Structure formats: structure tokens, C-alpha cells
Structure 1
Amino acid sequence: MEYIPFWQDKVVQKTIISRDGVPISYQSLGAGTDRVIVLANGLGGRLYVWEPLIEKMYPEYRIITWDYRGLFESEVHSKIRRLSITNHAEDLATILDKEEIKNAVIIGWSMGVQVSLEFAYLFPEKAKKLVLINGTYGHALSTGFQPLVRIPWLNRYLHELIDLVKNTPIFLYLLEQQKNLKPLIWPVGIAYSYLRGNGKIKYAINQYVSDVLSTDISNYLRLFQELDAHSAYHYLREIKQPTLVIWGDLDLLTPAYQSKEIVRKMRNAKYVRFLLGTHFVLLEYPKEVSKHVADFLR
């Protein structure tokens, strides 16, 4: 139940120490400092979810990504507030400085959209272009699962639920035990792969569930709250880099109207929409999305 892309054995694993002393794990594929793409992951995602785009852009571009602090191979600061979106953007700046990369194309998916916007605002000289896929400008819990209209009370109850799970040992234990149910995820992945006509989706779903259930669940849940605490809305007009925004009209997690608002507010943005796309348009329309990105970067 594993798909191994041709480039996987070429990925180099590295570690840097962040500005506030946290070991951050990052991955590099390819060489050079001039033509570089940075992939800002969705919450819980890693390189495998970018497989269609990597196959399109590598080796023409060097690819860099990293594990957000608190997840997977990256460690976490003793002060839990240091999981903010600003911290993740600063971690990326430290990685680029370590690799002597002056600027790069920043491509974000889901959570990575907020990280990309924050990075472009804080370090405009380091962001050459932006590609924002299935994301929002901020307050993710305030709009998630609300594809048509916002439900005023939903945000508060989602926070209450997350706090309850984080602070109740039995709930954390039960979540950790879900790793024993991973074999049940495989048929779901097969069904969705068949529905979308992309056989690789099942591997991505299986890997995502496996990774999330093996990382620190408390940090994972806290990051949802940090996504809700953050907003780039007030400085969208100040981000001047050429930007491509991609969304699916059936996205429930980051509804399409959020992406439309990003396009409306930014001064140099264009968009691509997929009427039947969900939160995973790169996996649902791998060739189309990859081509749009490649054309945009030319």
C-alpha cells in the first residue's frame, strides 16, 4: 500500500536551528539557488501530496519543503505560542538563508496558503512569485465547513471541541489508538481514487492518515487554532508579487469565497477555478493544476 515516486531517493534531509532555538527539519530535492520552488504544506501534509507538481517541475526547479515546528521531525518550542503562523514563516526564511537562496517561488496548499502570505509580507524580497492552492487568508475555523454562508457560533464550538480533546488524556489516547484502524482507510482511498480517476490518490490518503496518527496530536490540534488566530486580510493589498490562486468550488474546508476574496484584494493576482474540485484539486486534477502552475512560472 505504498507508491514510491522516482525522485524519492534523491531527497536530502536536513536540519536547521530556528531563530528561537527550535530544530527544524527540512527536505531538499535538486541543486542550485536560482530556480527554487518552496512547498508550504497543508496541515499534516508532506512531500508526497505534491507528487504531481514535483514530477512536472523537477529537475528544472530545485524543490524545498519543511516540517512545520511541532510536527513530524521538527521539534517544538517550550512556549506553545511559538507555533504561530509568523513562526513558520520565519523558519522558512532561516532555511533559505542557510541554503543561500536569495528568493524562491512559494507554493502553498491549505495551511500553507496562510504561511505563504505571511512569508511574502514579512520577507517580500525572498518571495519571487506565489501560488496559493485551496486556502484562505485567515481565521480558518471561522469559515471552514461553511461553504455558502458563515455560521456565527460554529467557530466557538470548534475551539471548545479542540480544547476538550487536547486537555482530556482519554481523548488523546483514543485518537492515538486510531492508528490501528489504518487498514480501514485503504478502501476509502481506493474508492475516492476510482471516483476521481487518479489511482495515486489512495496512496496519498493512506500516507496522510499514517503520518498524522504518528505525530504529536496535541500540536496538530493546536495548529488548527493558530490558523484561526491568524489573518493576512489587512495586508493583502500590500503583497505585490505575481500570484496565482487556485481553488475548487466544492471545497468545504477552505470555501471558494475565501480564495475569491484573496484575488479581489491582491493587486497582482490571477486565478484558476475547478467547478467540481474539492480541497484537493492538485490530486483531483494533477495534470491541469501542474500545467497552470508551470505556465504561470514561465
Structure 2
Amino acid sequence: MYSLTEILVMFAIVRVLQRIYYLLNGHVQHGRAFSPPHELKRWLKEKGIPIAQHRFVCKNNQKIELRYRRIGTGPKLFLLANGVGTDLFMWLPVFKAMLRRNPRLFTEFTLIAPSYRGLFGSGGIDGSVEASMSCLAGDVLEILAHCSRNSREGQGFDSIVGWSMGAQVALTCVTAHPHVADKLFLLNPSGGRTLHTAFQPFVPIPYIGKSVSSAMRALLAALRRLTFTVAWKRVKTATSSIYFRLFLELFSLLGGFPPELGAYFEQYLRDVFSSRAQTRGLLDLILSLDDKLPDAAFLLEHKSTVVSSVSDFLTGVYHGMFLCTAMINATFKPVLFGSHFLLLEWPDSLAKDVLELLQSTKKHALR
């Protein structure tokens, strides 16, 4: 038997070797001037891919203003349900790889990229936001109605591509409204009650889940209170310092991540601390991850691809395995050397899997 120290050393060696692999296969170290959002904007302009911003007020009685982006001109719509707190730029390496494989991608499809309520300007007109999986699923319906109002009646999304929280939103939505989408691509998904299984990558630990969830809820509540104090501003300053940048670089190296991941993490934190409301919205949405999925979510007939990372400490690999065991028409694709950020680690492989689903046809008609 190996000791814990030996296991950790072997894991670190494997991840450093993975970093070397990235460097040998074209990944480059970006300087501090690199900005993922600006790079996404530049790339879209260079490729002549149109992007339009939309916002509207929901028709329900919550008076929520929702925002989404529309990218491309294709007749088929596919929704990108992002990870919690992340913006569209996180998918830039995958978009580049997808376009290399299919230069007509954005003339065949139109990508709909919503912002979750409470983030990036989406939220309650009176400043209040109710965060739950059912509310987020309802927002998907509102966005579909708005973005397809000039299309044929009853048109749904060809596919929903959901990462992390987005996968949970997708499952919640299509369970209640199966015809919202024909196909599902679930990246690092959770089967619900996510806080109960956090930091348990290989197997959920019996009797521990409730304690983990309670501890995380208490921590998130404490952090939310801090957003009203001067401590929030001090943390914001700390996350923009050179010392924190060096920490991200070291974390990226020891974690085996691509060298540019530090720049993506840094931009993510800039977004998190762009305003106190944004920080509070993120914390509220994280709490919604502990919502339970309906039992019917595990019996969906949608053609689905599920990709999970074996070393994902946020949503353990067993979530994807269980979903594929239960779902009628799902394919499971585990990734041995990957984390929760596969879209940055293995964009070429992920692009191939997404395109295969987008370009496939349904095997079974939905009942």
C-alpha cells in the first residue's frame, strides 16, 4: 500500500508531466497583458462571426431582466449553459477547435449564450433575485421564446451544451419541458445535491454529505455578509495583486493545467469582484447547486453525451457515470487526466465530441 504522501507526490508528477505535454502541443504562456474577453472579441471579428447582445424583461411576475448573446447566423439554435460565475470567454479554446473542424459551424448554427440571473447584469429590476434551479430552468424557456420569436412556432434548441452548473440547469429544464431541446451535451455534470458531494472526487462518502453541505452553506452565508463590508474591497484588492498572480501560476503548474489557465482564472476573479451585487449573485447561485434533481431527470430519452473528469474535485466522476447508467440514450466519455476545466485542458477533444452531437440525428423520438 502507498502512503498518502507517496500518492500525492505521484499525482503531482503526473500533473507536471501533463503541463509539459501542453507546452509541447502548442499551448503558450500568455503575459499579463493577455485578456481572454478581448481575445474572444478579436477572434470573432477576425473570423467574421457576428455577435449580438440582447436583453429583455421576463413575462412572468418576477420582473427579471435577462441578458443573452447570439453568435452566428445558422438556422439551428444551440444553447450554451455555462458554469456558475463564468463568462463566454472560458469556451474560446473550444470554439477555435470547433471552427477548425467545421468552418461552417456558425452559418449552420446560432449559439445562444445566456447570463444567469444575478450575474453580468441579469437580475431583478428591483434588485432582488431568487436563485433556484427551477427559476434558472424557467429563464431558459423565456430566452428560447425571445430568441426564436421570428422562427417557426414551437422551435426548440437543437442542443443544450451545459458545463457544471449549466448541465444541472439543462437537466432540470428538459425534465420539465422535454421539447425545449433535442440533444444534451453534459460536461462535468452533477446529479443534484452538489454541495453534498463537493471535494469527494472518486466516491461520495457516506454520512459526510450532510455535514459538508451544512459547512459550505454556513461559509457561503458568511461570505455573503462580508460583501456588505470593507472586507469585500480588501479581498478584491488582494486578488488583483502580483502575489496572487504568482499563486495562480504555481497552482496552474502543480495542478497540471495549461500554462494560460492563470490568465483565465484571473479574469474570472475580476468578474466575480466587478461589483458587490455580482459577488452576492454568485454566492446565491452556488447555493442553488444543492437543489435536488427531479427523479425523471435520470430517465430522459434525449440523445446525450456526458463527459466527466476522473480527477474532478468539484463534481465527481460518479455523477456522470450514474447519469449515463440511468438515462436511456446517453454515451459516457470519461477523461483520465483532466479536472473541472476540461474546456481549457483538452479543447480539441471536447470540440470533437460537441460537434459529433450537434451533427448527429435523434435515434428516438421523444414521447
TM-score above 0.5, yes or no: yes
Q: Is the 1:193–1:202 Cα contact (8 Å) retained in structure 2? A: no
Q: Which runs of structure 2 are paired with 1:1-298 in the superposition (5 Å)?
A: 1=33, 2-3=35-36, 4-5=39-40, 6-7=43-44, 10-18=50-58, 19=60, 20-32=62-74, 34-55=75-96, 56=98, 58-59=105-106, 60-76=108-124, 82-100=130-148, 102-104=155-157, 105-147=159-201, 148-150=203-205, 151-152=208-209, 153-168=211-226, 173-180=230-237, 181-184=239-242, 185-191=244-250, 192=252, 196=256, 198-215=258-275, 216=277, 217-228=279-290, 230-232=291-293, 234-298=295-359
| Amino acid paired to 2:72 | G
CA distance in 2, matches of 1:87, 1:16: 16
Residue identity (%): 26
* CA distance in 2 between partners of 1:135 and 1:77 (Å): 31
Say if 1:175 and 1:255 are closer, same or farther in 2 by CA, change over 3 A: farther
Deviation at 1:219, TM superposition (A): 2.1
Q: For residues 98-122 of structure 1, give each alpha carbon's deviation from its aligned partner in whole angstroms, at most 9, with x where no partner exists.
A: 1216122101111111101011112
Using the TM superposition, name which of 52-61 and 114-123 deviates more.
52-61
Aligned-pair distance for 1:194?
Answer: 9.5
Which whole-Å deviations, capped at 9, do the CAs of 1:224-258 have from their partners, x for residues lacking one?
11111x22251124421101000110000111111
Runs of 4+ in structure 1 displaced over 4 angstroms?
77-81, 188-191, 193-197
Q: CA RMSD in A?
A: 2.4
**Structure label with greater radius of gyration:** 2
SS of structure 2 residue aligned to 1:279: coil
Please tell me whether the aligned partners of residues 191 and 319 of structure 2 are also in contact (alpha carbons under 8 angstroms). Answer: yes
Whole-Å Cα distance in 1 between the matches of residues 293 and 156 of structure 2?
21
- With normalisation by structure 2, the TM-score equals 0.74
Question: Which AA in structure 2 matches 1:182?
Answer: S
User: 1:129, 1:81 → 2: CA distance?
Assistant: 29
Q: Alpha-carbon deviation of 1:296?
A: 2.3
Gaps of 5+ in 1: none
Do the aligned partners of residues 138 and 81 (structure 1) sit closer, same or farther apart at CA in structure 2, a change above 3 Å counting?
Answer: farther
Moved more, 203-212 or 244-253: 203-212
Counterpart CA distance in 1 for 2:289 and 2:95 is 26
Q: Work out the CA distance in 2 between the residues paired with 1:132 and 1:164.
A: 31
Q: Which runs of 5+ in 2 are unaligned?
A: 1-32, 100-104, 360-367
Q: Is residue 137–residue 233 contact of structure 1 (8 Å, CA) maintained in 2?
A: no
User: Partners of 1:116 and 1:176 in 2: how far apart?
Assistant: 34
CA distance in 2, matches of 1:196, 1:51: 20
How many residue pairs match? The answer is 295
